[in-house]
């Protein structure tokens, strides 16, 4: 179910904005060429993100939001162009250009965009969907001008830097992304095939954003440049800046860098082609999967249509969580491993989607499952809409909106999207109204209008060789794409637009001094039962986030019954002695609260997010979950069987196979060699009594940890946690020995995955256990320029220079008990051997020659300027506090780390590289088509050992 915006509530967004009102007012008429449009302030009693809106003479829309709660800024440039603006036969252009926008521009050298932002202590990315492409950065506030300089340069001065070589490399990178996310992914082609069958030929949504390989192969670099010239003008862009800004200064900077960029061709709202299905369209495909899947997709409306909101609520009733009809009819009774409903919406069209994965033990084929889904729709019609349906949906909407405002990035993204698609950054008020006003009659009306008796695309995905499992024989064939003839674009066809400036754009702006970053103040408490509490106050939203960590994780179980802790976590999400799992889920949903329970290596973790006004009620339900589980046999069998199926299905995924083989070879015969979720074999060994015994042994408060980020003070938080004082006892202490596995090194372990489009590679060895200010942390600094950043040596080589992969990296990872050094990537199958050679060369070169002066400077700047981003959101604060509590740190560990970064010498880094990057101590894992790969890998001179999982 989609993320919703929500009901009226008061959020104190105004307090961070009022200090610069005079500055904003003065700025309105201060600059020629920049027109003030409106200012929307905070409004008590209403949910508003305050902003000022301007338009430059070249058509660029500018949205400014002030928030001085943290010394950072978030910059978003959204272009109203996605794959829906592409021409037939030229699919993938919008996404392709997202890649090209990071490859340097006229005044920014190749691969420098990532380097500059990373070195500034920031983060960045870009995303493309069917309707828009956006580029965004979060940086310390003093780096704003640098970001604007970078964004303006690629908006106005990109094309001269787009070379044939860059074009070819990024074309290969996009192909790798498609291979990793679509072709080599179980069920990865589902949405592409459904869209082809749903939409008429040539409809803008009939192809996916990633595009077709044949289209990418067909085009030339000038075709791509022409696409940029058509859609990437300032008049088709919205620049949104939020955070700790001065409005007048920001306006002046925006004018300086963007005002001279010429407008592009006029852009109009896209048309919404109408279409309908006159009959159900059954399609199918065989895939390398364990479980078959049926997917039913009905066409509905388009985003912000008056029927979108009631359709969303209908999707919640039918398929969102344990209170839904599909859960009751398919998952609870073990006819299906998984079932859900969604109603994703886009600018031109929406679809109402229902899907399920049948449980093998049920003996049902996809036709049977389809019949249950259709019966569930009829059941809804008889059942109708209940009061709780609307209460739950609207409570979830409120919580979703509030939690979305916890970061400047979240607020900026909301403003940018609303402006791009509605022309009104303040559209949130209308969103709130349209969802708040949904009635029972509205939900029934849209069911009858869009689902009852209507036609859908019904897609069956079945394991290879098992087409008989399909819901029905195919009755629809996707028409062959007819690509119109067109001559390749030449350089002479391009109408290049150039800005004329009175300053030198080749000079990168210098940042002023970093603004002071305040480490969150915190308080500690240990309850009488041994629970340790570490908390901090945060007043940006009226919310409370908690992380409860109980020493009952994977490491406490026996190897033959790995998965016991994970099954315990699942059972704690089921019925209690007081209410059913469905009633518990309903109660939490009505509060707008989320509670997730999971098992890690050392701890069982309970993540709680609540609106503070409902904190007591939420914690009462959490306490009931944790202290009074029902441990029903039927629920255990369902969770156990589903876990077994998930374990079997995961073995179809190359990344999972690589991680599993690598873990085994690092640890061999101990619990750390096993996945925390268990294997099909170990899960089969587990009985309900084992889970109950594990609960009785380990689920105790002594040495448990509670981390809290809330707008409440100490006394109020302790009062809310008072019920947990009734828990007593201590779990069994962890005694764990993880000896070296003595795995043969200098060899390749090959795991077969037949006909794999990509190969998954892991290179590494056992290494340091985790510490905070010791050698482990210093090794992290050493690795940063090798494989720890986007512009690291490994990633630049394998992705940016060679086009072998969508991404490659190296890293140290570990806990208190063991650690490892790992280099990893998924690469095109045909370059597996070459990729290993490049990995080895980079690691060897770095170990022998060490870090350069430039890399040392880059590492220091990048890591020590990140502080502004470390503590912004409750989630980040939780992670920070959890680290302190786990390692019993004082708050000055931050200063100690900063001193290490500032003072670590080149000689020390080089010594660490020589010590930890010894290739003869490492082994290699490759997952791919063994028949093809084995001779190629042997030709490299390695012994190749077949490895079975």
Question: pLDDT tens-digit profile of 661-696?
Answer: 999 999 988 999 999 999 999 999 999 999 999 999
DSSP label of 535 = E
Please indicate, yes or no, if residue 512 is contained in any of the structural domains. no
Query: What percent of the chain clears pLDDT 70, i.e. is strictly above it?
Result: 97
At 852 the pLDDT is 97
In terms of DSSP bridges, do strands 819-828 and 758-767 run parallel, antiparallel, or are they unpaired?
Answer: antiparallel
CATH of the domain at 799: 3.30.830.10
CA angle 249, 255, 260 (to 5 degrees): 160
- In terms of C-beta density within 10 A (0-12 exposed, 13-18 middle, 19 or more buried), how is residue 485 classed? exposed
CA 763 – CA 825 distance, rounded (Å):
9
What is the average pLDDT across 312-330? 94
Supply 771's token pair. 């510490």
CA angle 125, 126, 132 (to 5 degrees): 155
Query: Tokens 């010594």 — which residue?
Result: 911
Q: What is the pLDDT of residues 449-503, one digit of tens each?
A: 999 999 999 999 999 999 999 999 999 999 988 888 888 888 888 988 989 998 9
At 691 the pLDDT is 98
* C-alpha R_g of the chain: 28
Q: Do 292 and 343 reside in the same domain of the chain? A: yes
Q: Is the pLDDT of residue 748 over 90?
A: yes
Please indicate, yes or no, if residue 481 is contained in any of the structural domains. no
CA 498 – CA 107 distance, rounded (Å):
13
What confidence tier does 399 reach under pLDDT thresholds 50, 70, 90?
confident
3-state secondary structure of 74: strand
Which residue in 62, 84, 378 sits closest to 235, CA to CA?
Answer: 62
Q: Do 453 and 558 reside in the same domain of the chain? A: no
At 865 the pLDDT is 83
At 175 the pLDDT is 86
Cross-strand partners of 61: 55, 238
How many CB atoms lie under 10 A from the CB of residue 121? 25
3-state secondary structure of 282: strand
Cβ-Cβ contacts under 8 Å for 162 (sequence gap 6 or more)? 100, 103, 221, 224, 225, 228
Supply 317's token pair. 């009733």
Q: Do 152 and 192 reside in the same domain of the chain? A: no
N-to-C CA span, the chain: 36
Q: Do 143 and 221 reside in the same domain of the chain? A: no
* Number of structural domains in the chain: 5
Q: Which range is least confidently modeled, 162-171, 296-305, 831-840?
A: 162-171
What confidence tier does 790 reach under pLDDT thresholds 50, 70, 90?
very high
Q: What is the dihedral of CA 548, 549, 550, 552, to 10 degrees?
A: 130
Q: Do 711 and 587 reside in the same domain of the chain? A: yes
Q: Is the pLDDT of residue 298 over 50?
A: yes
CA 728 – CA 145 distance, rounded (Å):
56
At 518 the pLDDT is 80
Cross-strand partners of 230: none
Please indicate, yes or no, if residue 409 is contained in any of the structural domains. no
- In terms of C-beta density within 10 A (0-12 exposed, 13-18 middle, 19 or more buried), how is residue 63 classed? buried
Please indicate, yes or no, if residue 375 is contained in any of the structural domains. yes
At 29 the pLDDT is 55
At 14 the pLDDT is 30
Cβ-Cβ contacts under 8 Å for 785 (sequence gap 6 or more)? 792, 793, 846, 851, 852, 855, 856, 858, 859
Cross-strand partners of 284: 460
Please indicate, yes or no, if residue 296 is contained in any of the structural domains. yes
Q: Do 703 and 776 reside in the same domain of the chain? A: no
With contact defined as beta carbons under 8 Å apart, do 586 and 327 qualify? Answer: no
How many CB atoms lie under 10 A from the CB of residue 722? 12
* Distance, CA of 709 to chain centre: 22
Please indicate, yes or no, if residue 508 is contained in any of the structural domains. no
Greater model confidence, 228 or 406 = 228
Helices (H), 259-364: 308-319, 325-326
What is the average pLDDT across 139-164? 94
* Distance, CA of 866 to chain centre: 20
With contact defined as beta carbons under 8 Å apart, do 327 and 321 qualify? Answer: yes
Q: Is the pLDDT of residue 249 over 70?
A: yes
Query: Tokens 């101990």 — which residue?
Result: 670
DSSP label of 234 = G
What is the average pLDDT across 577-588? 95
The torsion region of residue 530 among left (phi > 0), alpha (psi -120 to 50) and beta comes to: left
Q: Do 255 and 288 reside in the same domain of the chain? A: no
Q: Do 242 and 334 reside in the same domain of the chain? A: no
At 97 the pLDDT is 84
CA 6 – CA 401 distance, rounded (Å):
5
Cβ-Cβ contacts under 8 Å for 662 (sequence gap 6 or more)? 762, 764, 822, 925
Domain boundary among 672, 696, 726: 726
Please indicate, yes or no, if residue 28 is contained in any of the structural domains. yes
Cβ-Cβ contacts under 8 Å for 640 (sequence gap 6 or more)? 567, 683, 686
With contact defined as beta carbons under 8 Å apart, do 833 and 939 qualify? Answer: yes
Supply 628's token pair. 């009074």
Main-chain phi, psi angles of 166, to 5 degrees:
-60, -40
With contact defined as beta carbons under 8 Å apart, do 123 and 137 qualify? Answer: yes
Instruction: Give long-range contacts, CB 8 A cutoff, 24+ apart: 722-726.
Output: 723/619, 723/620, 723/623, 724/527, 724/529, 724/531, 724/619, 724/623, 725/527, 725/528, 725/529, 726/627
Q: Do 218 and 147 reside in the same domain of the chain? A: no
Q: Do 706 and 754 reside in the same domain of the chain? A: no
Q: Do 651 and 758 reside in the same domain of the chain? A: no
Element (H or E) spanning 378, and its range?
Answer: helix 366-383
CA 499 – CA 892 distance, rounded (Å):
49
Q: Do 917 and 860 reside in the same domain of the chain? A: yes
Main-chain phi, psi angles of 294, to 5 degrees:
-120, 135
Element (H or E) spanning 391, and its range?
Answer: helix 387-404
What is the average pLDDT across 31-47? 87
Q: What is the 3-state secondary structure (H, E, C) of 884-922?
A: HHHCCCCCCHHHHHHHHHHHCCHHHHHHHHHHHCCHHHC
Q: What is the pLDDT of residues 44-94, one digit of tens each?
A: 767 789 999 999 999 999 999 999 888 999 999 999 999 999 999 999 989
CA 282 – CA 473 distance, rounded (Å):
7
Please indicate, yes or no, if residue 476 is contained in any of the structural domains. no
* Distance, CA of 443 to chain centre: 31
What is the average pLDDT across 847-864? 95
Main-chain phi, psi angles of 135, to 5 degrees:
-130, 135
> What is the Cβ-side half-sphere exposure of residue 4, based on CA atoms within 13 angstroms?
27
CA 626 – CA 413 distance, rounded (Å):
37
CA 857 – CA 852 distance, rounded (Å):
9
Q: What is the mean pLDDT of the chain?
A: 92
At 532 the pLDDT is 96
Q: What is the pLDDT of residues 97-107, one digit of tens each?
A: 888 888 899 99
- Structural domain harbouring 60: 10-81+123-156+235-268
Q: Is the pLDDT of residue 6 over 60?
A: no
Cross-strand partners of 536: 709
Main-chain phi, psi angles of 196, to 5 degrees:
-60, -35
- In terms of C-beta density within 10 A (0-12 exposed, 13-18 middle, 19 or more buried), how is residue 715 classed? exposed
Q: What is the 3-state secondary structure (H, E, C) of 840-884?
A: HHHHHHHHHHCCCHHHHHHHHHHHHCCHHHHCCCHHHHHHHHHHH
Q: What is the pLDDT of residues 552-581, one digit of tens each?
A: 999 999 999 999 999 999 999 999 999 999
């Amino acid at each position: 179910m989609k993320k919703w915006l929500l009901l009226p509530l008061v959020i104190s967004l105004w307090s961070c904005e009022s200090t610069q009102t005079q500055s904003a007012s003065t700025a309105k008429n201060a600059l020629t060429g920049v027109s003030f449009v409106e200012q929307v302030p905070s409004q008590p009693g209403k949910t508003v993100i305050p902003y000022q809106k301007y338009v430059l003479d070249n058509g660029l829309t500018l949205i400014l939001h002030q928030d001085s709660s943290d010394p950072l800024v978030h910059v978003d440039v959204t272009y109203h162009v996605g794959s829906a603006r592409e021409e037939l036969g030229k699919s993938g252009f919008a996404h392709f250009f997202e890649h090209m926008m990071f490859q340097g521009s006229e005044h920014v050298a190749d691969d420098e965009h990532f380097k500059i932002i990373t070195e500034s202590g920031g983060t960045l990315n870009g995303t493309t969907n069917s309707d828009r492409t956006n580029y965004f950065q979060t940086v310390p506030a003093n780096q704003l001008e640098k970001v604007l300089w970078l964004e303006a340069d690629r908006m106005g001065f990109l094309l001269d830097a787009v070379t044939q070589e860059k074009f070819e490399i990024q074309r290969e990178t996009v192909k790798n992304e498609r291979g990793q996310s679509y072709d080599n992914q179980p069920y990865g082609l589902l949405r592409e095939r459904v869209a082809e069958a749903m939409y008429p030929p040539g409809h803008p949504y009939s192809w996916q954003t990633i595009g077709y390989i044949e289209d990418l192969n067909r085009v030339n670099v000038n075709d791509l440049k022409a696409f940029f010239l058509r859609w990437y003008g300032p008049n088709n862009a919205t620049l949104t800046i939020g955070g700790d800004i001065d409005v007048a200064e920001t306006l002046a900077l925006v004018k300086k860098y963007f005002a001279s960029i010429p407008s592009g061709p006029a852009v109009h709202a896209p048309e919404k082609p109408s279409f309908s299905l006159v009959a159900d369209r059954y399609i199918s495909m065989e895939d390398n999967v364990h479980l078959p899947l049926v997917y039913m997709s009905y066409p509905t409306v388009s985003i912000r249509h008056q029927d979108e909101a009631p359709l969303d609520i209908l999707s919640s009733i039918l398929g969102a969580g344990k209170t839904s009809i599909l859960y009751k009819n398919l998952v609870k009774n073990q006819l299906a491993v998984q079932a859900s409903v969604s109603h994703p919406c886009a600018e031109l069209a929406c679809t109402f989607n229902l899907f399920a994965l049948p449980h093998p033990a049920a003996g049902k084929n996809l036709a049977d499952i389809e019949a249950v889904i259709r019966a569930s729709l009829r059941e809804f019609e008889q059942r109708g809409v209940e009061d709780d349906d609307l209460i739950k949906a609207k409570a979830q909407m409120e919580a979703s909106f509030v939690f979305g405002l916890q970061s400047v990035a979240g607020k900026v993204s909301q403003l940018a999207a609303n402006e791009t698609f509605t022309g009104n950054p303040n559209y949130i008020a209308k969103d709130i109204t349209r969802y708040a006003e949904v009635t029972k009659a509205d939900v029934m009306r849209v069911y009858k209008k869009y689902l009852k008796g209507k036609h859908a695309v019904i897609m069956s995905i079945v394991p290879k060789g098992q087409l008989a499992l399909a819901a029905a024989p195919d009755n629809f064939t996707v028409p062959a794409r007819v690509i119109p003839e067109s001559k390749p674009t030449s350089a002479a066809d391009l109408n290049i637009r150039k800005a004329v400036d009175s300053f030198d754009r080749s000079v990168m702006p210098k940042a002023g001094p970093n603004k002071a970053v305040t480490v969150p103040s915190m308080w500690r408490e240990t309850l009488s039962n041994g629970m340790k509490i570490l908390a901090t106050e945060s007043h940006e939203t009226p919310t409370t986030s908690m992380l409860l960590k109980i020493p009952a994780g994977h490491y406490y179980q026996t190897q033959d019954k790995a998965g016991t802790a994970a099954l315990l976590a699942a059972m704690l999400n089921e019925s209690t002695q007081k209410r059913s799992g469905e009633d518990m889920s309903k109660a939490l949903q009505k509060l707008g609260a989320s509670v997730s329970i999971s098992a890690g290596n050392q701890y069982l973790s309970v993540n709680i997010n609540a609106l503070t006004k409902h904190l007591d009620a939420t914690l009462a339900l959490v306490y009931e979950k944790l202290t009074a589980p029902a441990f029903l046999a039927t629920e255990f069998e369902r969770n156990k069987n589903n876990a077994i199926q998930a374990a079997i299905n995961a073995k179809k995924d190359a990344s999972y196979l690589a991680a599993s083989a690598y873990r085994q070879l690092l640890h061999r015969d101990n619990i750390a060699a096993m996945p925390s979720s268990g294997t099909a074999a170990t899960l089969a060994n587990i009985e309900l009594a084992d889970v109950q015994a594990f609960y009785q042994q380990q689920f105790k408060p002594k040495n448990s940890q509670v981390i809290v980020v809330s707008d409440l003070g100490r006394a109020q938080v302790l009062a809310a946690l008072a019920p947990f004082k009734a828990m007593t006892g201590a779990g069994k202490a962890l005694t764990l020995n993880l000896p070296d596995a003595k795995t043969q090194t200098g060899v390749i372990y090959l795991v077969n995955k037949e006909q794999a489009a990509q190969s998954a590679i892991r290179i590494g060895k056992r290494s340091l256990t985790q510490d905070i200010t010791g050698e482990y942390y210093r090794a992290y600094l050493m690795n940063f320029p090798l494989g720890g950043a986007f512009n690291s040596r490994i990633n630049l080589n394998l992705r940016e220079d060679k086009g072998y992969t969508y991404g490659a990296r190296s890293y140290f990872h570990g806990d208190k008990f063991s650690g490892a050094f790992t280099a990893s990537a998924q690469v095109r199958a045909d370059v597996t051997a070459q990729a290993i050679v490049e990995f080895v060369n980079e690691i060897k070169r770095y170990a022998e020659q060490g870090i350069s002066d430039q890399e040392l400077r880059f590492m220091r700047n990048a890591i020590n300027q990140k502080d502004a981003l470390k503590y912004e959101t409750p989630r980040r604060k939780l992670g920070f506090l959890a680290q302190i509590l786990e390692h019993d740190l004082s708050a000055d560990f931050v200063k100690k780390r900063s001193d290490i970064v500032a003072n670590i010498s080149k000689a020390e880094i080089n010594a660490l590289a020589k010590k930890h990057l010894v290739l003869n101590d490492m082994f290699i894992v490759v997952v791919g088509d063994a028949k093809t790969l084995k001779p190629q890998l042997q030709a490299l001179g390695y012994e190749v050992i077949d490895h079975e999982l």
